[in-house]
Amino acid sequence: MIERLETGARMSRIVKHNGTIYLCGQVCKDATQGIKEQTETMLEKVEALLEQAGSDKEHMLSATLYIKDMKDFAEMNAVWDNWVPEGHAPARACVEASMARDVLLVEISVIAVEK
């Protein structure tokens, strides 16, 4: 069975199937901020969605990060490294990408399992 949460015309924010949770791409709360703040608030949104779906950041399987400019890679990673629980790092990819809105500096897509 597939369960879709917060579904709109274009996408669902959460999709659950056989104990696996897929989050749509998440961006920051305030795009006027720098990479540090954008990364922090983006990860806060991920944490809230994982909780809503019955999971948490210790149960992440995979994360794909999209960063507008690799010059921000180290600063984004500093936030990421402080956020991911030790011993629970997911498989991860990070690519430089054009963003849907020019002010966005980072986006993430996450796959996790239920607790």
Among 24, 94, 97, 111, the active-site one is 94
Backbone phi, then psi, for 84, in 5-degree steps?
-75, 125
Helices (H), 14-63: 35-52
Contact, 38 vs 105, CB < 8 A?
yes
Q: How far is residue 42 CA from its own chain's centroid?
A: 6
In the residue annotation, 24 being an active-site residue is answered as: no
Active site residues: 94
